Amino acid sequence: MNRFYPIIVLLLSLVLTAACGNDGVSSTNMDSTSKENSTRETARDQSGDKETSTDKAQTKTIVDALGRQVEIPEQPKSVVALWSVGEMLVLGQKPVGSSANLLRFYTEEQRSGIEVVGDNTEGSFEKVMSLQPDLIVLNARATEEDIDKYSKIAPTVTTPFFGDPFETFHAVAAILNKQNEAEQWIKNYQARVEEKQLQTRDLKLTEQSALVIQFAKKSMYTYRSSTFPVVFDDYQFKLTAKQEELQKEPNFGNLQLPMEVLPEFDADYIFVMISDDDSNPVYEELSQSEVWKKLKAARNNHVYVINNRMAINDVATMDWALEEIYSLLVKK
């Protein structure tokens, strides 16, 4: 099983599951280039603008998450983001287009002005082209066919699908030429983390263990602690002894948990995510069981149901989770 299967499947329900066709790309480099230029010219012609500012702009070459060298605008202005939306919003640059699924966790104000071009991580070719982007962002699991397809419209880069959120943030900042903004945001975020640590010091969280579980497709999972940096790095909860044991294995990513093993993960605090409607009754039934009621967190009213958004490991979610977890911990 993939290390992050439940999060990959249920976290966003937006893994690219079907490869798109290559839209008639020729086997020769000359024909391919000709068709790509023709498609981009068509996008310009639709607005009657034969030459965009991107054509005149300076460019740079970046190495994307797949190791591809891609020439892109020095300062991208019109980006269709079929990934890395959160990083863009944090950096103060709204994409001109994205997908409904990627936008669903953001506020109406944050979504305002962003054209919906598709449902999952795929966008309608025609809708994307109509926006005349100067850059398109996909995730590192995009197929070669998809990359080739979107590259006919504009330079297309990939960013990490899952990984260290700050590394991904720096990668997106480099693409957008917003490294200074990224550094300032990280500095401000770290200051807020220190503030929250002071505000919760009476709870002695560094002496408390935590367990994060996700109910997905009627099953229960736990994950490597790095999946939830706000819980284990920012609020500094400890791991349970059982999870520490699991994480000695370098390839450990997630574990499906039958109810019977929960006492082995007897944490002081439990954070529960429910990723789909079918899993709601599963959690409700479990929470009424004797096994659950005997857990320390349940006995001490330290079980918190938190939005499934926390499974999205990006800086925008960290920003949200820092406040969300604080509100759960200090609520009366």
For the chain, 332 residues long, give each residue's pLDDT as a single digit of tens: 444 445 544 444 444 333 333 333 233 332 333 344 444 544 444 444 444 444 456 999 999 999 999 999 999 999 999 999 999 999 999 999 999 999 999 999 999 999 999 988 789 999 999 999 999 999 999 999 999 999 999 999 999 998 899 999 999 999 999 999 999 999 999 999 999 999 999 999 999 999 999 999 999 999 999 999 999 999 999 999 999 999 999 999 999 999 999 999 999 999 999 999 999 999 999 999 999 999 999 999 999 999 999 988 899 999 999 999 999 999 84
pLDDT at 331: 84
- In the block, which residue shows the tokens 């926390």? 310
Assigned CATH class of 21-177: alpha beta
Dihedral angle, C-alpha 124, 104, 159, 183, nearest 10 °? 140
pLDDT at 121: 78
pLDDT at 6: 55
Q: Where are the domains of the chain?
A: 21-177, 197-330
Q: Give φ, ψ of 76 to 5 degrees.
A: -60, 135
Q: Look up residue 70 and give its amino acid.
A: V
Q: How far apart are CA 65 and CA 160, in angstroms?
A: 6
**CB-CB contact of 184 with 243 (8 Å):** no
Assigned CATH class of 197-330: alpha beta
pLDDT at 57: 64
**CB-CB contact of 67 with 115 (8 Å):** no
**CB-CB contact of 53 with 128 (8 Å):** no
Q: Look up residue 95 and give its amino acid.
A: P
pLDDT at 8: 47
Q: How much is the pTM?
A: 0.82
> 217 — alpha (psi -120 to 50), left (phi > 0) or beta?
left
Q: Report which of 222, 251, 258, 256 is spatially closest to residue 239, judged by C-alpha positions.
A: 222
pLDDT at 120: 80
Burial of 110 (0-12, 13-18, 19+ CB in 10 A): middle
Can 21-177 and 197-330 be said to share one CATH topology? yes
